[in-house]
Structure 1
């Protein structure tokens, strides 16, 4: 059984200027090597949940545990060492004049020796396929490349968990594909634990498990296949189901015999090609 890295028990949080809690008695677990997507419309509570996981906010009720540390004022810095966050706007994350300087920034702050730092920087950039951009100035990079460098900066610090906080929402389709592909490879090769906070269900479809948030509570959770069976329910919550799921549903309604629900265009095309010859 996979090791539990994160546990929330009956977590509640309310902002001073709001009449109802942003989170209401949330309980969940995250396991080592898992990719968990937390989805919901704006105001559903998912961003507040991300801040609590990283100790940027503390629950008013309930308990949070990360890698064996119970969240408190005394343990918050220990917890932040275990979690790296990639934020929405890649331009707001750069502090170095070159790609390698930027990846090295967090290591310098952590007091990592110079020789070890050089190795970690090159290794992290190699993992995200940006090692040929060592001396490139960040403003010359595309949005997707910038986010991959941001991920490298986190990998160099060797956290147990990476949180993507709407990390693809400002990218074009190619940039989103680059970032999601990078995360997928890291998870497969290095068993990186990923928590993706997003409203993009195409991104969430790549995860192992999805939690759907609504009005500060967990509305549903399950595998992508289980969650996308609630297509009309998701639309009612203000979410847009992935295009392959929509198209597959339309094809089934026209009488085309699909064997299952497909979460990617590639799988759907392969099934249609095979079905064509069966028919």
Structure 2
């Protein structure tokens, strides 16, 4: 999948008021152009890791390198240009009175020239399917629409990496699907690197690779297919299992011979339809 765009080497971090490490001897690499999902229960260290990648925390041991730059106070603002972050609650990201004002805000702070700014605002909104909402007030939008505008605000800054920090957890299923499809299209069209930090394995199923954190350490990693084979272990770690994986398992227990354990609803329905047609 190409060269490494993020390198985390033996990183540890401990909050002053806690006896346990939030991150303990964590090492991982993110390849340029891949979609990596980092999953874990509450307290697994994933939120601390998200803050560290955005320069809100610095490692107390080990090294973090992003886009060839080591994470430190000297480089943090340059790193934040390379890595755009979409947060859990889109309302917390809105600062403008209209959609276009909001997307323009980060560009203004970066000193982008006015004509270039207008072009980038429109282009980024077109990329997420929100160009027709240019003059709309953000609070009139649905949750999924708000999050797509938040994504437009990030991609207008032209980062190499998009970090989704529980970015779909407050959305209904339709809004979640809208946002995930938007991210997938952007990744394929723009060649972006995507990191999704989540506890939702339905979201992780969209990724190329999944890393599971537990008690501040890397528990395991692999493709979604490989990770979802560990369904009992995942449940013991406090993680849910995607509906289609549960359904595939139940169907297999009932004697229906599926070709594999599906984690995509479309694939499962297609195979069930084929089996029914063959009968």
3-state DSSP of counterpart to 1:63: strand
Please say if 1:47 is aligned against 2:47. Answer: yes
CA RMSD in angstroms comes to: 0.7
Q: Distance in 2 between matches of 1:113 and 1:80?
A: 20
Q: Distance in 2 between matches of 1:94 and 1:54?
A: 18
Please say if 1:96 is aligned against 2:96. Answer: yes
- For the 8 Å contact 1:257–1:275, the answer to whether it is kept is no
Q: Distance in 2 between matches of 1:117 and 1:73?
A: 28
3-state DSSP of counterpart to 2:230: helix
- 1:133 alignment partner in structure 2: 133
- 2:238 alignment partner in structure 1: 238
**Alpha-carbon deviation of 1:277?**
2.1
- 1:144 alignment partner in structure 2: 144
Q: Deviations over 1:40-65 (max 9, x none)?
A: 00000000001111111000000000
For residues 1-279 of structure 1, what are the structure 2 equivalents within 5 Å?
2-279=2-279
**Alpha-carbon deviation of 1:199?**
0.4
Consecutive unaligned residues of structure 2, counting only runs of 5 or more, are none
Task: Identify the range of structure 1 (168-177 vs 5-14) with the bigger mean alpha-carbon deviation.
Answer: 168-177
Q: Please, what TM-score do these two structures have when normalized by structure 2?
A: 0.99
3-state DSSP of counterpart to 1:136: coil
**Alpha-carbon deviation of 1:276?**
1.3
3-state DSSP of counterpart to 1:8: strand
Q: Distance in 1 between matches of 2:79 and 2:207?
A: 23
Q: Distance in 2 between matches of 1:114 and 1:74?
A: 28
Query: How many residues are aligned here?
Result: 279
3-state DSSP of counterpart to 1:15: coil
3-state DSSP of counterpart to 1:267: helix
Task: Identify the range of structure 1 (6-15 vs 168-177) with the bigger mean alpha-carbon deviation.
Answer: 168-177
Q: Deviations over 1:139-175 (max 9, x none)?
A: 0000100000000000000011000000111111111
Q: Distance in 1 between matches of 2:212 and 2:278?
A: 37
- For the 8 Å contact 1:88–1:167, the answer to whether it is kept is yes
Q: Distance in 1 between matches of 2:109 and 2:78?
A: 15
Q: Deviations over 1:71-96 (max 9, x none)?
A: 11111111111111010111111000
Q: Distance in 1 between matches of 2:189 and 2:278?
A: 36
Q: Distance in 1 between matches of 2:86 and 2:103?
A: 13
3-state DSSP of counterpart to 1:206: coil
3-state DSSP of counterpart to 1:157: coil
**Alpha-carbon deviation of 1:278?**
2.4
Q: Please, what TM-score do these two structures have when normalized by structure 1?
A: 0.99
Consecutive unaligned residues of structure 1, counting only runs of 5 or more, are none
